[in-house]
Chains A and B, each alone.
Chain A
């Protein structure tokens, strides 16, 4: 079993970017949008969450951090 971070409630995303910052800190000990394994595409009111699955992503702290509860960890 592999555990991955997914965003099943992406439509609730408000684009605050807390997940992006946390994902960057986990990956690089810095705030660097290019090193973050979460990317947010914002267009007006719509936000698309993109997760880079080429690395470990099952961090519960990101699930807990999201104010809109967009994320969960799933076993696949």
Chain B
């Protein structure tokens, strides 16, 4: 991935096939929801479910949500946001978005690694734990509600992917930081703005890159967030922090 391109993983469930495509023309569409909408428009005949992370996910604090865009049962286009570490680890893996479409037939689990995607039939759900790198991976669990890393969720979002039980990303990959000193100065400046959060610090499990541990981390996001923070996939409670993005545009 370079600054001028985006890597999109296409997963065709029906054919159990995948392609990692690099696009040079998607930068004007700032993820997650901006990028998702463009990808949905380009692939609408496939009726996909699209997961995308924002440009700051995994790199700067308080930008930790994964965006999902999908058509609900009434064919309305919906977006939802989930916490945990899925967005950050997707970004570290070098993927900006995953487009999933079709119907799984002979498998119920997908493992995404740096250079491959495996379609696996698991009879025992406990065996999901054996995929990905322990302590580094992140997993989406599909059911009545879609869960992330066995704690977080997309709130009441009513999307599902037929026959898919779980999707794990491995935890591999790397984001190279060219100027570490300058990067860390920006990082700590953003962290110092923690008092602008609209929630209290607590001791609940926190999203990756967020020190707040707020009591709302489990439930995902409602759509009450301003457009720019939403596109950066920051949290609705961190909206004030990312209203002034001048400190992040230096890097």
Contacts and interface: CB of A to CB of B under 8 A. Distances in A.
Contacts, number: 88
B213 A16 contact: yes
Interface of B, helix, strand, loop or mixed by DSSP: loop
Interface of A: 12, 14-18, 21, 25, 28-35, 39-45, 47, 50, 67-68
Contacts of A40: 135
Contact of A14 (B61, B173, B213): B213
12 contacts: A14-B211, A16-B209, A16-B212, A18-B61, A18-B191, A25-B177, A29-B180, A30-B174, A39-B136, A42-B151, A44-B151, A45-B205
Interface in B160-177: 171-177
Interface in B33-74: 58-59, 61
A47 B165 CA distance: 24
A33 B172 CA distance: 7
A43 B150 contact: yes
Contacts of B173: 32-33
Contacts of A21: 209
Given A15-B205, A45-B151, A34 B176 contact: no
A63 to B, nearest CB: 14
A14 B205 contact: yes
Contacts of A41: 134-135
B211 A18 contact: yes
B180 to A, nearest CB: 5
